[in-house]
Amino acid sequence: KLPVVAIVGRPNVGKSTLFNRLVGKKLALVDDRPGVTRDRREGDAHLIGLDFRVIDTAGYEDQDAQTLPGRMRMQTEAAVAQADVALFLFDARAGIVPLDEEIARWLRQSSTPVILAANKAEGNAGNQGILESLSLGFGDPVQLSAEHGEGLGDLFEVLLPLL
Ligand code: GDP
Ligand code: MG
């Protein structure tokens, strides 16, 4: 049975883009507008020498602001409970917002190991957000650009001992 990695994070941080990058097929819907992905997706990922099952959490992005946190929490906690590792993505360009901090609190209550990852980290536009993310308490983030395929070697290195 393949180990399971759940990609979690608030809407629009690039979860589906990373999922597509890891699975290598356009299985997850990606759109410029936040709120497009409706269903949770699962696929078989291959990363250098690692094979694992990956879950793209979604299905809450079309909720209104009032119901979003509750729906997100249910989706996130369900995926993380069945995962060997939670890959917690934030948008390095946007920096840390209250919803990221809220997700961090949920993840701390779970026994599943968490890897923090700074997406959209191509170039230098994410440097400030990466500094802000230290306050989440998950250590230095892995720096990724899901869109450009950068940082996947570093992701491999942090996943390897956990899978
Ligand atoms: P999700 O809601 O977390 O699944 O996010 P999506 O994967 O749908 O991506 C949201 C937006 O961020 C889309 O416009 C993507 O093209 C963009 N995006 C994803 N990854 C990157 C990245 O590494 N760099 C930049 N600059 N944009 C990205
Ligand atoms: Mg998505």
CA of 15 to the centre of ligand 2 (A): 5
From the CA of 9, give the closest atom in ligand 1: 3
Q: Which-ligand-closest: CA of 59?
A: 2
Q: Enumerate the β-bridge partners of residue 51.
A: 46
- Distance between CA atoms of 106 and 73, rounded to whole angstroms? 8
DSSP 63: S
Task: Tell me the pLDDT of the chain (163 aa) as tens digits.
Answer: 899 999 999 989 999 999 999 998 655 555 555 554 455 788 999 999 899 999 998 755 555 666 777 778 888 898 999 999 999 999 999 999 999 999 999 999 999 999 999 999 999 999 999 999 999 999 999 999 999 999 999 999 999 999 9
Looking at domain 4-162, its CATH architecture is 3-Layer(aba) Sandwich (3.40)
Q: Which of 8, 10, 12 to mutate to test the pocket of ligand 1 (most atoms within 8 A of CB)?
A: 12
CA–CA separation, 84 vs 3, rounded Å?
Answer: 6
Task: For ligand 1, pick from 7, 17, 38, 97 the residue to mutate: most ligand atoms within 8 Å of CB.
Answer: 17
Using CA atoms, how far residue 63 sits from 32, 34, 83, 163, in Å, is: 17, 11, 24, 33
Best CA proximity match to 143, nearest among 101, 93, 105: 93
Bridge partners of 88? 8, 116
Amino acid present at 139: G
